[in-house]
Amino acid sequence: MSDLLARHRAVMPDWVALYYDRPIEIVEGRGNRVTDADGTTYLDFFAGILTNMIGYDVPEVREAVERRLATGVVHTSTAYLLRGQVELAEKIARLSGIEDAKVFFTNSGTEANETALLLATYARKSDQVLAMRQSYHGRSFGALGVTGNRAWKNNSYSPLNVHFLHGADRHLPQFARLSDHDYIKVCTEDLRHVLATATGGDVAALIAEPIQGVGGFTMAPDGLFAAYREVLDEYGALFISDEVQTGWGRTGETFFGIQAHGVTPDVMTFAKGLGNGFAVGGVVARGDLMDALHAVGLSTFGGNPISMAAANATLDYVLDHDLQANAARTGAIVMDGLREAAGRLPVVGEVRGKGLMFAIELVDPGTGEPAPALAGVMMEETRRRGLLAGKGGLYGNVIRMAPPLTLTEAEAKEGLGILIDSMEATNEASE
């Protein structure tokens, strides 16, 4: 493994980060578990950054891809009719709730968000975009422009004129004691002030994650985006919901994260889990917005036959097995247990999340300040006990987890036990 690590460091950019003091190579996966090159098996609570949405080696997905491969046609292009694209687009358009929806497929969430921003700025003939503080929308030029997290921004240059809003920053002193109702009111008044002072009024859109992924699963209280939408409608501005991490029932309570706010956006973006490991992303939007672009466009590999076979099989599996309900049920097991344990562990600042999308924020027990070093300790503790987790947050002090939606109740309880043991060990390390 040390040889592979040395080779990685010789040819891969330094900014491609690796987890753990001794990075692992995952070589096999079955169900909701993976095995590394040393033969150690882990319960996977991060799923390739929310990508292996229904686990590993799923027969329905594998067989759908094998049938496609057997045809010998792994790629044609959008210059020809693609049955798999049409079938998947029909399903997504129906599930989105967007009126007269149309779908465009890409390879990733980054590309999807770029497309959404193009649709909005073209429709409104404006480069002015609103985004959320602590957000992350991708690594490309435009997507970084609407990313509100300095750790992921290499420069301030952007093709867009961006203004960042409050809404997922309840930890700030000025908001900490506010009720949801009062926080929504304050944030909405701030939105009006931003529109009146920092913009020309002709804002193209607001882009927002219902739950901020890289931001450490911070989220706006339900109803905030409905309040924002009322203001946006006064200005004719559009609303883009970035569902790259919150889509397909992961939050348990709704199929898309934004639905918890009682809002149907003009545009939604998606990616990650839909292909269960195969590269797929896309945009679903009102037909008039999607059709409005005057230039010819395509995505050479976006919506390719292999990815479409995997995505159709994955989405069918999610719906046929009601995995949204499973996410609500198993997620509650984990979060209820974590919250109960957190009450006696000063190192835990907060447990938050929805469904199978939950996080543990680690703080200095003495000061309550963010403790990124302790997050590193907990990452090692979870790995040592056989569980894979992720790390994030604005301050790098959050353990974030999103197991496959196929997580069983037994696996939820197993993972909970590992996490509590790891929290206790981290708490001891902080003393």
Q: Is the distance from CB of 183 to CB of 221 less than 8 angstroms?
A: yes
- Smallest CA-to-CA distance from 401 within 47, 42, 32 is with 47
Q: How far apart are CA 388 and CA 204, in angstroms?
A: 40
What is the rounded CA–CA span in Å between residue 425 and residue 406?
28
**What value does the mean pLDDT of the chain take?**
97
Which of 276, 291, 320 is a domain's end point? Answer: 320
Strands 205-208 and 128-132: parallel
Confidence of residue 77 (pLDDT cuts 50, 70, 90): confident
Say which amino acid occupies 288: D
- In this structure, the answer to whether residues 273 and 148 fall within a common structural domain is yes
Q: What CATH number corresponds to the domain at position 97?
A: 3.40.640.10
Total domains present in the chain: 2
pLDDT > 70: what percent of the chain?
Answer: 100
Name the maximum alpha-carbon separation found in the chain. Answer: 64
Sign of CA dihedral 424, 425, 426, 431: positive
Q: Sheet holding 128-132: strands in order across? A: 101-106, 281-286, 267-270, 238-242, 205-208, 128-132, 161-165
Is the domain of 122 the same as that of 192? yes
| pLDDT bracket for residue 156 (50, 70, 90) | confident
Chain centre distance of CA 81? 30
pLDDT band, very low/low/confident/very high, at 1 (cuts 50, 70, 90): low
Are 98 and 187 in a shared domain?
yes
Same domain assignment for residues 271 and 388: no
Please say if the pLDDT value at position 113 is more than 70: yes
- CA dist 116 and 111 (Å) reads 9
pTM above 0.85, yes or no: yes
d(CA 401, CA 121): 34
Q: Are residues 26 and 80 in the same domain?
A: no
Q: Strand, helix or coil at 44? A: strand
Q: For helices 305-320 and 59-70, what crossing angle results, to 10°?
A: 150
Q: What is the pLDDT of residues 244-284, one digit of tens each?
A: 999 999 999 999 999 999 999 999 999 999 999 999 999 99
- The predicted-structure confidence for 319-330, as pLDDT tens digits, reads as follows 999 999 999 999
Residue 329: how many other CB atoms lie within 10 Å: 16
What range does the domain containing 303 cover? 63-320
pLDDT (average), residues 288-313: 96
Q: Let me know whether 306 and 392 are in one domain.
A: no
Last residue of a domain, one of 288, 320, 352: 320
Least confident of 77-81, 247-251, 367-371: 77-81
pLDDT band at 411 (very low <50, low <70, confident <90, very high): very high
Q: From CA 105, how far away is CA 203, in angstroms rounded?
A: 26
State the Cα–Cα distance between residues 204 and 389, nearest whole angstrom.
Answer: 37
Can you read off the two tokens belonging to residue 116? 């959404």
Picking from 287, 320, 353, the residue at the C-terminal end of a domain is 320
